[in-house]
Structure 1
């Protein structure tokens, strides 16, 4: 009989989106969206322990002053949702150590929610399988299901199942440069809608072509250099209109020799693809001379999703 731990520590990665395709706003208030996911080696750490007074929470590390430590946090929302699913009260204390910056397009909040789902499931011994955890995660946020398994996947939009991808060992090395200001995802999508120039039918047709193009790319089995023409983010233009530093940052990456320059998610992190570790270090050194970044880190992918590092 397997014993159930009373405390568990989990590590969960950030994500990069090598491609994002966005359609026009639908009548239900959501956008059609198709995107490629890649989990990368920048990690938050979540420790969950028994606490009769719970749920309680403490947040430390990167941007901890921007992250609520109450029921607004997706960690506590995830624990409560799973608790309702298995009919258990989430009497836990959560210690969240942040390395993934907030409002940066790297999925930190969603990653933390995924860690909470996996950790609480183990502490309760409730044996909810990964597919069901992913379905629960989708009720919290579209990105949450991806972090359960990580590696690479295709997201097909609101309430659509995630498509896991075969991964054959190609390594992507990214230099992540985070501007001082973040961006609201809601504001970016609103700006996206304002800059559309075609009719609704024209925009829908453009999106259908772009969507299929994203789905057809062999993201997990091709080398990064083969995929350079497909690295594109439809949210980059509206995000740059809201925060011009993004445009300056992307140009800085190109001028300093990045293989590709790409905004991550809805911003504001700019991801620069490097040829290898030495090139990444050189690129980081050059970017540190710029004055628009508050943090520059090197990360690689793909990596696995939530994993237990101590129990």
Structure 2
């Protein structure tokens, strides 16, 4: 299928926070049974896609660009190649990715960028795939990728399982994000989690109880201050075992007066819940004094997923 010269498209995609993560044992398919809440937040990467006969190629600038692969290992390239194979085109594209989402931080930056690539390429190639079809493809790239297609809030049920979309009542969650100097490998965190499970009596029944609690929580229809006791992450303990400074980092938020402190994803970003924009400013100032963080920023949610900013013919 021949492709004529394409217009240029620019897209914006948010980061995510996980207000709760429940992790069960490793399954026979090599993946963990996992139940987690997603919330898209107002911290954005920007992806511009243009025609390039020698593509696919990518240029990465902005925050942590030196930590991001600049070749076919990048999830943007993987997403473009997967969609191209699916719809029968040559991925003759150049991507310019401007990072504002920290890398190796548990905020889903790489997955978000892949989702932006899927939506942008779908538009440029006039593939006319629906959001549902794009989500199905996205699940083959990474577990978090489908969420960013639409964003807002959802519950994930694990590898290649459909998301449960959450209705939201307009409540605003205000976060201060502290990014430690050292990131964490998702693979290493789950390996440490498995090691902890082997040394404890925690079993499938206990996980299923925690899982049901996650499913029953009114995440989108309740003010965030009423859900403070539900903000938990089963990956915090293994992450702190690998990165002891995380305990200090999470404590910094509590000492500064955060409503709640938790780690996002598999780390290492610490998310501190504020009661207002003004409270967030005060928290940020206090948390910035702690040398354990390399970046401190504010964001709010939930927000929508990938958004087209501009299309230039």
Scaled by the length of structure 2, what TM-score is found? 0.96
Alpha-carbon separation, structure 2, partners of 1:49 and 1:164:
32
SS at match of 2:209: helix
Match of 2:8 in 1: 7
4+ residue runs of structure 1 moved beyond 6 angstroms?
A: none
Distance across 2 between alignment mates of 1:213 and 1:224: 16
Which residue of structure 2 lines up, in the alignment, with residue 137 of structure 1?
A: 138
- Comparing 202-211 with 280-289, greater Cα deviation is found at 202-211
Q: How far 1:100 moved relative to its partner? A: 0.4
Q: Aligned residue for 2:91? A: 90
Corresponding residue of 1:230: 230
Distance, in Å, in 1 between the alignment partners of 2:262 and 2:149 is 25
Counterpart secondary structure, 1:46 = strand
Match status 1:21 vs 2:27: no
Aligned position for 2:104: 103
The separation in 1 between residues aligned to 2:221 and 2:86, in whole angstroms, is 36
1:284 equivalent in structure 2: 284
In structure 2, how many angstroms separate the alpha carbons of the residues matched to 1:95 and 1:204?
44
What's the secondary structure of 1:23's corresponding residue?
strand
Q: Distance in 1 between matches of 2:75 and 2:288?
A: 32
Per-residue deviation, residues 173-210 of structure 1 (Å, max 9, x unmatched): 000000000000000001011112445xx511111111
Write out aligned runs for 1:112-151 (5 A).
Answer: 112-151=113-152
- Paired residue secondary structure (1:101): coil
**Which structure 2 residues correspond to residues 1-311 of structure 1 after superposition, within 5 A?**
6-196=7-197, 197-199=199-201, 203-311=203-311
Deviation at residue 228 of structure 1 after TM alignment = 0.7
How far apart, CA to CA, are the structure 2 residues paired with 1:245 and 1:167? Answer: 35
Q: For residues 228 and 136 of structure 1, what CA distance do their matches in structure 2 show?
A: 34
Separation in structure 2 between the aligned mates of residue 209 and residue 190 of structure 1, nearest angstrom: 23
Separation in 2, partners of 1:298, 1:282: 11
- 3-state DSSP class of the match of 1:262? strand
Q: TM-score, normalised by structure 1?
A: 0.97
Contact 2:6/2:51, CA 8 A, preserved across alignment: no
CA contact (8 A) 2:6 2:50 kept: no
Structure 1 residue 28: deviation in Å?
2.1
How far, CA to CA, are the matches of 2:163 and 2:241 in structure 1? 30
Tell me by how many angstroms 1:5 deviates.
5.9
Across the two proteins, how many residue pairs are aligned to each other?
A: 306
Mapped partners of 2:203, 2:41: distance in 1 = 32
Cα deviation for residue 132 of structure 1 reads: 0.5
- Over the aligned positions, Cα root-mean-square deviation in angstroms equals 1.0
In structure 1, the residue corresponding to 2:139 is in which secondary structure? Answer: helix
